[in-house]
Amino acid sequence: MPRARRSAAATKKGSASRGSLRQELLQLKVSDKLNLSKGSRAGTRADSEASEDEGASDILSHCSSTSECVSVAEDGSGSDAQDLLSAQEQREDKLKEDIDNLTDKSVKTRVTALGSLRLALSSQVLSDFLAERRVTLTDALERCLKKGKDEEQSLAAAVLSLLCVQLGSGSEGEDVFHCMKPILVSILTDSSAGVAARQGCASALGLCCFIAAADVEDLVSCLSVLEGILTVLYAENNGTPPSHQALVCAAMQSWALLLTICPASRIQKTLESHLPRLSEVLACESVSLRIAAGESLALLYELARDLDEDFYSEDTDALCVMLKQLATDSNKYRAKTDRRKQRSIFRDVLHYIESSENQAETIKFGLEVMYVDSWARRRTYSLFKDLLGSGVRHHLQYNEVLRDIFSLGAPLVLDAAAIKASKISRMEKHMVNSAAFKARTKARNRVRDKRADVL
């Protein structure tokens, strides 16, 4: 037998013998104790049962606590809540850091912080967080507008607009508007300022006034400032330099937005002074200016017909002829996307001016649907969409300021089951698309058949 195997066997034999001797000694000790305590067997039995009960209760309590931990871990509710809290704290810490960086000496740091704030405010509803830091943020934005250059001023104006969207028309939003209004007007009317900064201030002035202005005098003064930009456009006889076209478009869109909340007396004066001049802008070379002028004309006709259902201008026939030309424009020197967009918009403008009928647009967000069925509502939604970008549907769903503007009521509170039930599966969506594709193909094949009588 090999040495290793022999030693292993010996070890096993020795251990077995030692184990048997130990068991015999234990048995002897137990038998001695039992013989000595025969008189007190009842008391010993009671004590042993009590000790056994205590041990069993300890084991059961330990197992129950372990099962609770397992159930919480399997459920995931505790960990998910903790993750949500930690994520919220991280977001708030990042926002605090960005607000602090607005006062940094480095221009690059300030611009980066403004861009980060713009993204955060457009994608989330942070009204409570911003209300606590309103004064600090307003002072920082004021400094960025006064001391910054073109890009920084433009971003600061956008963040200011988003701040008003978050705070709303209460006292806090009104204070922000009154504090920042003189600075916005100063930059907008300064011809030496950058074009991007003036464009951002034009948009911010119109939106902040629309949301937070509580006095008619503020509304009239903002309208006068924006009309001053349009008057320059009229005086230049549509010879606006390409670099200033975006500024004029922004001013015209903000001006049209404020017209939707103007009193009737102001609208009557606007019709007399701007209706014929806007028709002349339709002949300019800039596609964006033509579209802005066409939408503003449709809005003016809508506001006029709200005051008088039989409103009719002397220039309506000539205007309809020009709108028909723009709705069927096919000049090749313009980009295809510009031609398509121009034809689509001017078809709607022409249809409304001729028949007073609007083409309703459906906006879906969450489980809700909003109908944009007027030019005033269309102008308002377009401006918020340009400002919020992809976050406009989230704000329509949860932001009380936007829901109040569009008369959507209080935000809906839905549980996870309702949201999951409202969504269709991928297979159902595929089947619906397939059925629609087959029906569309059959309908088109009937028209494409040469033997069909097509009138």
Kindly report whether the global pTM for this prediction surpasses the value 0.75.
no
82 domain residue, yes or no: no
Write the pLDDT tens digit of every residue in 84-96: 777 788 888 999 9
Is 179 within 8 Å of 134 (Cβ atoms)? no
**What mean pLDDT do residues 414-438 have?**
70
CA distance 121 to 137: 13
DSSP label of 283: T
Is-contact 278 307, C-beta < 8 A?
no
Query: Among candidates 139, 40, 342, which has minimal Cα distance to 48?
Result: 40
In the predicted model, what is the mean pLDDT of residues 259-281?
89
Which of 28-32, 76-80, 182-186, 191-195 tops mean pLDDT? Answer: 182-186
Looking at the structure of the chain, the number of domains it has is 1
Give per-residue pLDDT as tens, 203-213: 999 999 999 98
- Which residue range forms the structural domain that includes residue 372? 359-441
Q: Where are the alpha helices (DSSP H) in 189-244?
A: 195-212, 216-235
Least confident of 35-39, 162-166, 278-282, 424-428: 35-39
| Domain assignment present for 365 | yes
pLDDT the model gives residue 424: 66
Cβ contact 384:392 at 8 Å: yes
**What is the tens place of the pLDDT at every residue in 273-327?**
888 888 888 888 888 889 999 999 999 999 999 988 888 788 888 899 999 988 8
d(CA 300, CA 252): 12
Residue 287 lies in a domain: no
Residue at 376 is within a domain = yes
Task: Give SS3 for 143.
Answer: helix
DSSP state, residue 372: E
Is 182 part of any domain? no
> Is the per-residue pLDDT at 56 higher than 70?
no
CA distance 352 to 366: 30
Per-residue pLDDT at 59: 37
Task: Give the DSSP letter string of 237-251.
Answer: TT---GGGHHHHHHH
Task: Supply the pLDDT for residue 79.
Answer: 66
Q: Is residue 299 one of the residues assigned to a domain?
A: no
Q: Is the pLDDT of residue 74 over 90?
A: no
Q: Is residue 241 part of a domain?
A: no
* Percent of the chain scoring above 90 in pLDDT: 46
**pLDDT tops 60 at residue 391:** yes
pLDDT of residue 309: 86
Q: Which residues contact 79 (CB under 8 A, 6 or more apart)?
A: 73
The C-alpha angle with vertex 343 and arms to 339 and 346, in degrees rounded to 5, equals 135
For position 242, what pLDDT does the model report? Answer: 60
The pLDDT of residue 175: 93
pLDDT of residue 430: 79
Query: Residue 450 gets which letter from DSSP?
Result: T
